[in-house]
Amino acid sequence: MRKNQRNNAVDITKSGARAVALKCLLRWAKGGVFAETLVAREAAALSSADRALVLAIVLGTLRNMRWLEHLSKSLRPTPMEDTAHWLVMLGLCQLFILGQAEHAAVCETVSVAPARLRGLVNGILRNAVRRRAEFESARGSLPLGVRYSSPDWLVKRWVAEFGAEETEQMLAWNVQAPPVYVRLNPLRPMEIPAEWVPLPHAQGWYRLPSGIPTAALQNGCVYVADPSTRYCVELLQPQAGEKILDACAAPGGKSAAMLAATGGQIRLLATDSAEHRLPQLKQNLERAGGVSVELACHDWSKPCPPEMLGAFDAVLLDVPCSNSGVLQRRVDARWRLSAQEIERLAQLQATILECACAAVRPGGRLVYSTCSIDGQEDRGVVDAFLARHPEFSLERDYLALPHREQSDGAYAALLMKSV
């Protein structure tokens, strides 16, 4: 959190999207609220175009925060109060990240500022315009963490695990705005719009040029998700007639994918640790065509319920994780994450795997998956589990690195239980 705070109310009625973006950034800096939650709340009354602009500014600023802060300090070495700082940051985002016209980026941003700060903000942003070529040329020589707006400890960790070249490619991927992908639901056929781009490496998946297809989503014809979510389902290979547990199911994307893959002909139990998420999970699965689906609330960091012991042909276990594979999409994650948090999560994941494995019948299978690319959460958890459980064997695992996949990062491991 920044110091030198002062009370500077922003009149959002006069300045629209940029004033709302400033309000979101000021509130985000205090901690405790996700950026997209703030945008959804604060921009609700705006037009769809203005809501999109607020989202682009807020996420673009946070996704590129360290580089924009480097530019800000180059332009104004002395500290600024919070309102001035975030005004400059959102102006720089419009200029350098969103590529907006200089007049709009500068003048509209200055119009949001309290009167006493307008001269300061105007001067800094106009100087940024004059030095644009200098800043863009110098970016390639900056340290990786500054150049690609990532914590230095994480950059160091990735370099040790993946090497410098691979790390830089991942960091460069993570500062780009993510595409919107959808998966078709064969249980709810629809006519595919001509502008949707099919993914050659992922049958039934499409990249959308813009926006969410609301009607198709509400009708259950598509599910908005990243193609990386398919790996765990492909490893599990659910079969019609099987009894399957989706242990950490909400909001239901992977359960829906299993229903689609089997024509809805599986006996599915979808559980989640938070009871308040079950109604939305139920609605999502019904929309997807689930007819033989049961829901239950269970925290899988606790022992397997007696009625579930050895009861399932297959278990899909998509555990809570650091989100290190989805930093492009979840802009807050890189600023919340720490090595200590990864350690805590790895211990939690090990506990969940230990408890959930008891639900697998002899001869059955379990897929352990994360949206992390960190070895401590992925193969580290699996190898430690196998050392404790000789009745399980690792048949196959897959690590999807985001820059290689051109989608989110993910990990999945198929574990078979002996008869």
- Residues identified as active-site: 371
**Does residue 165 sit in helix, strand or coil?**
helix
CB atoms within 10 A of CB 140: 7
* Closest of 130, 133, 85 to residue 109, by C-alpha: 85
What whole-number distance in Å separates Cα of residue 308 and Cα of residue 267? 13
- Which residue shows structure tokens 């009871």? 275
Q: How far apart are the first and last CA of the chain?
A: 55
Return the residue matching tokens 């230095």.
Answer: 152
Provide, for the chain, the percentages of residues in helix, strand and coil under a 3-state DSSP scheme, each rounded to the nearest 5: 50, 15, 35
In angstroms, rounded to a whole number, what is the distance separating the alpha carbons of residues 303 and 355?
5
Q: In what order do the strands lie in the sheet with 410-417?
A: 293-297, 267-272, 243-246, 312-318, 360-370, 410-417, 392-400
Contacts of 86 (CB under 8 A, 6+ apart): 22, 25, 26, 29, 61
